[in-house]
Structure formats: structure tokens, C-alpha cells
Amino acid sequence: MNPYRNYIEFNRQKWSALRNKTPLLLSAEELEKIKGLNEEISLQEVEEVYLPLTRLINLKVKASQQLQGATNSFLDFKAKKVPYIIGIAGSVAVGKSTTARVIQTLLSRWDSHPEVSLITTDGFLYAKETLERKGLMSRKGFPESYDTKKLIKFMMDVKSGKRKVEAPVYSHLTYDVVPDQVEVISNPDILIVEGINVLQVNKTDQVFVSDFFDFSIYIDADEKNIKKWYIERFLMLQQTAFQNPKSYFNRFTSLTKDEAMNKAAEIWQEINAPNLRENILPTRRRAHIVFKKGSDHTMEKIYLKKY
């Protein structure tokens, strides 16, 4: 079955033409600061892939604002700003974070929506102590490892136009939620929510995180490529962040390169691959747009949902 039967397919050239003179307001220095550890992305990629996307989102935000204004006028309600929410999903190591930061930066350069906030769903994982008590440490990243009720409450508060909403903070250093630390989301024009789980549904729940999205993006790639990127990132982290004595993964710094590669492959095979196949990849069909990456990280195909 064709997974893209409800999508319009674009190659790079056709998609790039939809930029329609949208200016590039991002420097090479800024791009270098926001890209991921082992993520390859060029200004040409930004011009050809991300500028058309931000133009599309800008048009959708304007339409949403007009519709909201019409509804307020009909109900004789005082105008109230409600953030436009974008969800970004995809596997671990596929480049979601870089995509989210590039989109955030580009969208913030538009005069009609300069306030663009970004959160990841990592902060809504259960604390390490809770995961250990429930026997879920080996299932971290799977749907059951998240405090879904807390995440749904957060989304409800944001979408209701609440002036300040608190999101928990996650530390990749300690591999845990940071106690008593929050990030405040102050009623932005646009909120980007990035996470592997954001398009997932659960038969036992009546409300899903994606119910609050106005637009959603899935970053796709062949599993063999994602596995390769995951192992490469693991090796880079072994030489950098893992060296910190406070790092949860500090114990891996003594491994040889071959041992580290084997450990990364083992983690991928036991945790990330099953999560991708069982929970993440099936949500691809729910995204409004799918970016398909090639082996060199560049976007090869773009699929835009017809309806």
C-alpha cells in the first residue's frame, strides 16, 4: 500500500520554486549554532526546503488568524490571541531538533508572527525514579513513558490562550527531568512542539496531543540511515558530552570505538528500532507534510497532504 496516496509529491526543484521570492533571513553563522551535533545542513538546504515551508506556514497562520477573528466577531467576543501550534515528529536521530530550530528562527523573522516558541516533549517524560519504579527504563521514549495527562493539560492551556504556561525541563546530561525547573511559554504567536511521540494516538485516550496542532511535520528517512546517524551521534557524544562526570552515560567513555559502536547498535536494536516500527512510523500518515531525507541528511522528497 502506498503510504503517500493522500499526498502531493514534490522533488527538490519543484518544491524550491514555491519559495516565491521569500527572503533568506538567516546567516551561515546562525545556522551553525542551531544545527544538531552530527546534522549536515547548508544554507542551500534552508533556501530550497525550509523557505517554501515557512511561506506555506505563514499563509496558514494568516488564514487561521482571520478565521479566529471571524468567529470572535460572530460571537461578539473580545479578540484573544491563540497560538498557532506546529507539531514535529520522527525517529530519534533523524534531525527533528535541527528542523524545529531552523523553522523557529525563520518563522520569527516574519513581521506577522515574530514570537515563536519551541518546546520538546522530553520534559513530559516521567522522572527517572518513576520509570525505574515502573520498570520502564528500557521503554524510555515509548508512549507509556510519558506523562500524557500532563502534556495534554499543557496543550489545553496553551491553546486556550492562557498568558503563561509552564513546561517541565529535561536534561540530556542527567537523562532525567530537572526537578523544580520549568520553561514559561508566554502566549506566543506560534508554538512548535517537537518530539517522537507527538502524533501518536492511544485507544484508551479520548484526547490526543495532535488534536491541538494546526499543522504537523514528520521527518522521515530509511531506517538503515537513521541507525547509522544514531551510531555516529553516539560516538561523537562519547567524546564530548559523555565525558562530563555528571553525565548519565559517563560509564561509556571507557569503551573502545568498536565497543561503543556495538553498544550504540545494541541500544538501537533493543529500544529505538522497535519504538520506531511500532509507535513512530505508523504516525507518519497523520502529518500534514512529510520530509524524506536521503543518506546524506538532505531532503530528497517532500509530501504535502491533499486534505
pLDDT of residue 168: 97
> E strands within the chain?
7-11, 84-90, 116-120, 165-171, 176-185, 190-194, 215-220, 289-293, 299-305
Tens-digit pLDDT profile for residues 37-61: 778 899 999 999 999 999 999 999 9
State what percent of residues in the chain have pLDDT above 90: 88
| The CATH number of the domain covering residues in 7-305 | 3.40.50.300
Phi/psi at 35 (nearest 5 deg)? -80, 155
Is the pLDDT reported for residue 187 higher than 90? yes
Tens-digit pLDDT profile for residues 221-261: 999 999 999 999 999 999 999 999 999 999 999 999 999 99
Gap between the terminal Cα atoms of the chain: 19
pLDDT of residue 176: 97
Cβ(202)–Cβ(208) under 8 Å? yes
pLDDT of residue 71: 87
pTM of the model: 0.95
pLDDT of residue 269: 97
Phi/psi at 87 (nearest 5 deg)? -105, 140
The mean pLDDT value of the chain amounts to: 94
Average pLDDT of span 126-136? 96
Domain boundaries, the chain: 7-305
pLDDT-derived band at 79 (thresholds 50, 70, 90) equals confident
pLDDT of residue 24: 95
Is the pLDDT reported for residue 4 higher than 90? no
Average pLDDT of span 90-97? 96
